[in-house]
Amino acid sequence: MTPPLFRVRRLRKEFAGNAVLRDVDAEIRRGEILGLIGENGAGKSTFMKILSGIYEPTSGTLELEGRPIAFDSPSDARRAGVSIVPQEFNLAKDLSVEENVFLGAELLKLRRVLDRTGMRVRTAQLLAELGANVSPQDRIEGLSAAQKQLVEVCKALAFDASLLILDEPTTMLTRREIDRLFALMRSLKARGMALVYVSHKLAEVKAICDRVMVLKDGELVREAPIAEIEPPEMARCMVGRELREIFPPKRKAVGPVVLEVRGLSSPGAFTDVSFTVREGEILGFAGLVGAGRTQIAEALMGLRPSSGVVRVGGKEARARDAKQAVRQGFGYLSEDRQGSGILTGFGIAENMTLVSLRDYASLPFVIDRDKEVAKARTWRDRFGIKASNLAAPLESLSGGNQQKVFLAKTLDPGPRVVMVDEPTRGVDVAAKQEIYRFLAELAAKGAAVVLISSELEEIIGMCDRVVVMREGRIVGELEGNHVEEREIMYMATGLRTGANA
Which spans of this chain sit near Mg ion (rule: CB under 5 A)?
A: 44-45, 87, 398-399
CA angle 339, 319, 437 (to 5 degrees): 60
Min dist CB 380 to ligand ATP, Å, is: 12
Which one among 8, 32, 33, 44 touches ligand ATP, defined by CB under 6 A?
A: 44
From the number of C-beta atoms within 10 Å of its C-beta (0-12, 13-18, 19+), residue 23 rates as middle
The sign of the dihedral angle between the CA atoms of 394, 400, 404, 409 is positive
* Identity of the residue, 2 or 344, whose beta carbon is nearer to ligand ATP in the bound complex: 344
Q: Pick the closest to residue 371 from 363, 384, 362 (CA basis).
A: 362
Would you give the binding string for ligand ATP spanning residues 47-86, x where CB under 6 A is met?
----------------------------------------
Min dist CB 426 to ligand ATP, Å, is: 6
Which one of ligand ATP, Mg ion, none is in contact with 38 (Cβ closer than 5 to 8 A by kind)?
A: ligand ATP
Task: Please name every residue paired with 223 in a beta bridge, in sequence order, or none if there are none.
Answer: 213
* Identity of the residue, 57 or 399, whose beta carbon is nearer to Mg ion in the bound complex: 399
From the number of C-beta atoms within 10 Å of its C-beta (0-12, 13-18, 19+), residue 258 rates as buried
Identify which range of 36-44, 126-134, 299-307, 329-337 contacts ligand ATP by CB under 6 A.
36-44
Min dist CB 16 to ligand ATP, Å, is: 7
CA angle 462, 410, 327 (to 5 degrees): 115
* Identity of the residue, 279 or 458, whose beta carbon is nearer to ligand ATP in the bound complex: 458
Min dist CB 352 to Mg ion, Å, is: 20
Which one among 24, 28, 45, 353 touches ligand ATP, defined by CB under 6 A?
A: 45
Distance CA 333, CA 7 (A): 41
Does position 169 bind ligand ATP by CB under 6 A? no
Does position 302 bind ligand ATP by CB under 6 A? no
* Identity of the residue, 30 or 216, whose beta carbon is nearer to Mg ion in the bound complex: 216
Does position 41 bind ligand ATP by CB under 6 A? yes
Distance CA 175, CA 179 (A): 6
Which one of ligand ATP, Mg ion, none is in contact with 498 (Cβ closer than 5 to 8 A by kind)?
A: none
Distance CA 467, CA 285 (A): 5
Dihedral of CA atoms 394, 395, 400, 404 in degrees, nearest 10, equals 20
> Do residues 283 and 450 lie in contact, with contact meaning Cβ atoms separated by under 8 Å?
yes
Identify which range of 40-48, 169-177, 302-310, 372-380 contacts ligand ATP by CB under 6 A.
40-48
The sign of the dihedral angle between the CA atoms of 361, 363, 369, 370 is negative
Which one of Mg ion, ligand ATP, none is in contact with 24 (Cβ closer than 5 to 8 A by kind)?
A: none
Min dist CB 19 to Mg ion, Å, is: 17
Q: Pick the closest to residue 287 from 378, 114, 421, 187 (CA basis).
A: 421
Does position 88 bind ligand ATP by CB under 6 A? no
Distance CA 427, CA 339 (A): 18
Contacts with ligand ATP by CB under 6 A lie at: 15, 20, 38, 40-46, 87, 386-387, 396-401
